[in-house]
Chains A and B, each alone.
Chain A
Amino acid sequence: MEIFLRPLDLLFHIVNVLILFFFLRWLLYKPVKKFLRQRDERAEAAREEIRRGQEEVESRLRHYNELIENAREESARIVKQSNDLARDHAKEIVESAKAEANEIVARAEREAQYTRAHAKDVLRDEIAGMAVDIASKIVKREISAEDNRAIIEDFFKKVG
């Protein structure tokens, strides 16, 4: 069976297709395009929201990192300050102990010196007393009239 298409029918079909095309285009294309545009806009908004969220997160992260770093530096400073303070305090204690020890040693030396000197004086006095007592006893026992005369003459020699 052969189909013959007359030019007028062909034209008619073409016109029908065109009308259908423009009708469908008018009916479907704009809503679909609008839907797609709105979807793109929502997606863009969501991307923008995500981007802002990421920026916010990064900003907060940076802020927290700064806080952590500051806290770390502050703690290190406090530890160093405490160590310095403890070291200074320990140094003061050692110096104070040294000074006290030196004072104790000096006092002990002074006391020992005084005790030695006092003991020397006492000993010297006792020795002198003993020597004179012994000499007195010997002289009393041994002295003769001649000796006595000699002592008397010696006095006048010295006075004269």
Chain B
Amino acid sequence: MIEGELVTSMPLDEDTMKFIEAEFGKMLGGKVRFNTSIDESIIGGFVARINGRVYDGSLLSRLSTMREYITDF
């Protein structure tokens, strides 16, 4: 069992939660379980911390990338 922390912008339904755990399980090769918390500043998506690694799938991260892309264009 791999434990991690999951931050989302809004509460997730059970199906979405299972989907995330299953995807991380496939990725890391084991069953994954998250402690969840809400942070509206990430706007959408999630930020997961597992075994010291951060998986940033938030909309805030995408918008930041978009801002850097526009700035560097």
Chain A residues within 8 Å of B, Cβ to Cβ = 121, 124-125, 127-129, 131-132, 135-136, 139-140, 143, 145, 147-149, 151-153, 155-156, 159-160
Contact = CB atoms under 8 A, between A and B. Distances in A.
Given A143-B59, A148-B10, A125 B71 contact: yes
Main secondary structure of the interface of B (DSSP, over half): helix
Interface residues of B, number: 28
Contact of A129 (B9, B10, B27, B67): B67
A149 B9 CA distance: 11
Contacts of A131: 66-67, 70
Interface of B: 8-10, 12-13, 16, 19-20, 23, 26-27, 40, 43-46, 55, 57, 59-60, 63-64, 66-68, 70-71, 73
Contacts of B27: 159-160
Contacts, number: 72
Nearest to A131: B70
B71 A128 contact: yes
Contact of A139 (B19, B44, B46): B44
Nearest to A158: B57
